């Protein structure tokens, strides 16, 4: 460990100690979502299961609630429910990553864990440089940096980052998000026989290919993987303009279904679909766990999207990750996201009711709405209904218009803002409600709405009102992790 590395680690430890007390006092601290101990968290990184242990690394700026020179924070778990915060995996302490150990991924090779990440560097004039870097670990906790393994090819700006690595048929592949000199976003691909020896294979997808025109000025955090016999590309493009109900967040996240040609390294694909219909979802990553499931975790935030208005900033922390979601592809090529089944372990007090609702508002007794799961099914409704959660989030099903709407109070001024999605018929709704977030899975995960919200601490209500006759079954659980964790 270099002296800069050691000094940075010590500074972070002090910062955690100094602010622990304040951070813990925040009523908006989450109960079952991963958060930074202090400072800012953004992308999930290096998701992997190794010898029965799940690892979630994350982009971490411990010294302030804004972005900057990122560290890799680290959580581990054996059950995807109870997490332990580990020591820092990577610090921005070397010439090739001194302005940030940016996003990347983890793989296992020869019994060791390897991290591939982007070293972000600014020169004296503030110009950006980018390096793809490697680090290795024998125990999955302590990492040794191996330095730069790929540099910036011709034709691209220094917005060239976020390596996602995998092995197929004995060959290593690495995709990155990139910006060409004419300021267009792309997916680029490298191959290797060894993790420290990469060959640039060019642009695999992006602006100007597969019928994509004007599809953003930068693509961030790509992830290309096989699922149910197709190759899925998940990516976060920046610079898409709103289109009907789509693309209303500052930056977008979505997926393509297609095929990666392993000789030409071209990825051909269909239309781009949004992954999430809510307000706060970005830079997601996936991995296959040891039982073969493809699991996704996202950042429950969006860069440049009113981050300065989050009230948690007064308590010196900001942002969290989503719950882990298992992915499947349905027969029409739609990506389905389901909360992983392990989360059921958190269920405690269960209540079940069948409601007959007219226009009146029904108050639902939820044991502790600050950490709860609500499942609604057996829906029979003439015109639709709406759920109001803690006075600041409304989820509305308009059956006549075939539309779902999530409405919430803006963080800065309590005016309303909405996100919408079309729906043919609503069959079920699955809410995961934490102290300051809500994730709503619609029709078994065919649509998801993810959002932070900051209700008045005293408001613990969950209510349903009908637009006309509505009958539905509602089950609720209080969610609790093991004591002391």
Chain residues that interact with ligand FRU, rule: CB under 6 A: 42-43, 59, 70, 102-103, 118, 161-162, 220-221, 283, 303
Structure tokens at 403: 């539309």
Q: What angle do CA 471, 418, 467 make, to 5 degrees?
A: 25
Say how many CA atoms lie within 13 Å of 335 toward its Cβ: 28
d(CA 384, CA 429): 13
Location of structure tokens 């691209």: 156
Q: Which CB, 102 or 477, lies closer to ligand FRU?
A: 102
Q: Which CB, 298 or 455, lies closer to ligand FRU?
A: 298
Q: What angle do CA 368, 430, 254 make, to 5 degrees?
A: 125
Contact between 44 and 283 (Cβ < 8 Å): yes
Decide if 368 is catalytic.
no
Q: Which CB, 116 or 343, lies closer to ligand FRU?
A: 116
Location of structure tokens 């982009």: 59
Q: Which CB, 105 or 316, lies closer to ligand FRU?
A: 105
d(CA 355, CA 173): 53
d(CA 313, CA 296): 27
d(CA 162, CA 102): 7
| Minimum CB distance to ligand FRU, residue 318 (Å) | 13
| Minimum CB distance to ligand FRU, residue 145 (Å) | 17
Phi, psi of 311 (to 5 degrees): -65, -15
| Minimum CB distance to ligand FRU, residue 176 (Å) | 10
Q: Which CB, 12 or 329, lies closer to ligand FRU?
A: 12
Q: How far is CA 429 from the centre of its chain?
A: 20
| Minimum CB distance to ligand FRU, residue 122 (Å) | 13
* Candidates 26, 43, 276, 280; catalytic one: 43
According to DSSP, residue 62 is labeled T
| Minimum CB distance to ligand FRU, residue 422 (Å) | 28
Residue 445, strand partner residues: none
According to DSSP, residue 124 is labeled T
Strands 317-318 and 39-50: parallel
Q: Which CB, 30 or 59, lies closer to ligand FRU?
A: 59
| Minimum CB distance to ligand FRU, residue 54 (Å) | 21
Q: Which CB, 162 or 420, lies closer to ligand FRU?
A: 162
Q: Which CB, 164 or 430, lies closer to ligand FRU?
A: 164
Structure tokens at 121: 């560097």
Structure tokens at 185: 């976003």
| Minimum CB distance to ligand FRU, residue 323 (Å) | 19
Instruction: Give the start-end residues of each E strand in 319-446.
Output: 325-329, 335-339, 347-357, 361-363, 372-381, 384-389, 393-398, 403-409, 416-422, 429-434, 437-442
The three-class DSSP label of residue 414 is coil
| Minimum CB distance to ligand FRU, residue 310 (Å) | 16
Cβ atoms within 10 Å of 149's Cβ, excluding its own: 20
User: Residues with catalytic annotation?
Assistant: 43
């Amino acid at each position: 460990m270099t002296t800069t590395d050691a000094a940075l680690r010590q500074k972070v430890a002090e910062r955690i100690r100094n602010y622990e007390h304040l951070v813990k006092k925040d009523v908006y601290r989450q109960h079952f979502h991963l958060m930074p101990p202090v400072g800012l968290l953004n992308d999930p990184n290096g998701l992997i299961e190794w010898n029965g242990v799940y690892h979630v690394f994350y982009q971490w700026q411990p010294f302030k609630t804004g972005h900057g020179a990122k560290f890799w924070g680290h959580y581990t778990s054996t059950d995807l429910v109870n997490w332990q915060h580990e020591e820092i995996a990577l610090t921005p302490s070397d010439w090739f990553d001194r302005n940030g150990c940016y996003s990347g991924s983890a793989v296992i090779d020869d019994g060791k864990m390897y991290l591939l990440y982007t070293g972000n560097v600014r020169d004296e004039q503030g110009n950006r440089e980018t390096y793809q870097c490697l680090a290795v670990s024998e125990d999955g906790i302590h990492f040794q940096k191996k330095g730069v393994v790929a540099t910036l090819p011709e034709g691209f700006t220094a917005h060239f980052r976020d390596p996602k690595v995998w092995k197929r048929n004995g060959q290593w592949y690495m995709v990155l998000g990139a910006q060409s000199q004419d300021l267009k976003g792309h997916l680029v691909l490298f191959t290797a026989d060894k993790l420290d020896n990469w060959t640039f294979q060019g642009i695999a997808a992006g602006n100007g290919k597969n019928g994509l025109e004007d599809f953003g000025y930068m693509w961030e955090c790509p992830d290309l993987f096989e699922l149910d016999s197709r190759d899925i590309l998940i990516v976060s493009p920046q610079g898409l303009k709103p289109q009907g109900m789509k693309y209303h967040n500052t930056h977008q996240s979505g997926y393509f279904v297609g095929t990666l040609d392993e000789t030409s390294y071209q990825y051909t694909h269909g239309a781009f679909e949004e992954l999430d219909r809510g307000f706060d979802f970005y830079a997601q990553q996936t991995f296959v766990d040891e039982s073969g499931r493809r699991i996704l975790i996202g950042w429950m935030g969006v860069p440049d999207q009113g981050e300065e208005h989050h009230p948690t900033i007064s308590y010196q922390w900001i942002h969290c990750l989503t719950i882990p979601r298992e992915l499947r592809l349905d027969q029409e090529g739609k990506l389905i996201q389901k909360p992983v089944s392990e989360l059921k372990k958190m269920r405690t007090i269960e209540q079940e009711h069948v409601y007959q609702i007219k226009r009146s508002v029904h108050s639902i007794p939820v044991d502790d709405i600050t950490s709860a799961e609500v499942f609604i099914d057996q829906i029979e409704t003439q015109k639709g209904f709406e759920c109001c959660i803690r006075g600041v989030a409304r989820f509305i099903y308009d059956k006549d218009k075939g539309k779902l709407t999530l409405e919430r109070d803006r963080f800065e001024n309590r005016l309303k803002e909405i996100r919408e999605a079309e729906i043919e018929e609503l069959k079920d709704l699955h809410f995961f409600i934490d102290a300051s977030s809500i994730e709503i899975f619609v029709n078994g995960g065919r649509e998801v709405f993810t959002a932070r919200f900051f209700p008045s601490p005293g408001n613990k209500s969950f209510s349903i009102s009908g637009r006309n006759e509505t009958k539905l079954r509602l089950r609720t659980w209080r969610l609790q992790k093991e004591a002391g964790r």
